[in-house]
Structure 1
Amino acid sequence: MAEGRFVSYLRVSTKRQGDSGLGLEGQRKAVTDFLNGGAWSLVTEVVEVESGKRNDRPKLTEALRLCRLHNATLVIAKLDRLSRDAHFLLGLQRAGVCFVAADMPEANEMVVGIMAVVAQAERKMISSRTKVALAAAKERGVKLGGPTHHLPAQAGKAAAASASIRSGRAQSRADDLARDIAELRTEGAVSLRDLAAGLGQRGLTTPRGTAWTATAVRRVLTRIEAA
């Protein structure tokens, strides 16, 4: 059962999350549920909108300052969510402020110290793996750094093959329609609209299953004439 004074520290990674409350409400509820019951008071709630990769945390610094001023305990929602955040963990360890995590109330300074060491090592490994992956992608022909990644040679060939298949199907469809179009012309259909109406009257649709239009008929005629 919670007792004493508390300063709540909530953090989200993006401004959009901060503006929308996405992620904050869940953290706030976890803190509220933890403090439910007992003789406690919440000095204030501090919200940080900052990426976990950055080391400057002005709101965390402010929360720790308030804890020292009010002899309060820092309460956070989820310690496991911040387990990779070495700066946060080391900050807790060095601040000389009591803290509690709603999801792990038994955690103490020793646990946080171990987490901080693991977090630093993991961040270095993630960085190393990212560099290796980027180098491998570059060797495969992927061009990095632009607004889009160009397809490597293999993917380009696959895309060309797929386009060829689609083109072949469209040509086959045009060949199938050639006889009906010739018959409609014999029956007096002159314009593209006449041909579109005639195909519709025969119960025929475009390859996509939609009604014929003058533009769709023109595409078919282009293929027939090019064959």
Structure 2
Amino acid sequence: MAQGAFVAYYRVSTARQGSSGLGLEAQKETVRRYLNGGDWTIKAEFIEVESGRRDDRPELDRALTFSRLHRLPLIVANVSRLTRSSAFLHRILDSGAEVRFCDLPEIEGPVGRFLLQQMASVAELEAGFISGRTKAALQAAKARGKKLGGNRGVVMTDAIREAGRATRTAKANERAGDLAPTLAELHAAGVTSYGALARALNERGIPTARGGEWSPMQVSRVMAKLAEKAV
């Protein structure tokens, strides 16, 4: 049985399906069966009225942003409801959001992410085979008594350190971008001090990048990031 909060994404092909419940209610029931009782809530629902062949999915983008912002899993009734294009699956993978498909219950965690990558591109299947052969070769080498792991004399070059810094900066900028609409809404409502903003984010259940509660200092850092992006 599931526990915690989730975000649900539904896609219907026509406005009639969305208003009459045809297709939509079936997807909602699929999500309920997947969660299988337990102490859970759907924090937000996003309904896309789109053709599966179109490239623009504004509700999917909103759902992914909400999922990342609140650090909640995004649930989709089935893969076909999400996309018929590998490009969308790659978008899911690149988004950093945790996505669960009700018709593929094993698509969770690192193993699920790997399987999703295979679905996104047949070419990546060969990479999976290569990975498997590499692991087998390492196990064989270990069985022969060859020492694996440990310090191989790898030196952290300036380029490697710079790449690491660039990755951390990109993630921080992405997080700031996800927070920007909420912070703008709070500012418009007269919530402007760092302390008040921190309290408002905590009250809304929006965690920090590390999953904790906000402090005025953390809010100030996000605001600084947004100011840098605006320049």
Give the TM-score, by structure 1 length: 0.48
Task: Give the number of the structure whose alpha-carbon radius of gyration is greater.
Answer: 1
By relative contact order (CA 8 Å, sep 6+), the higher-ranking structure is 2
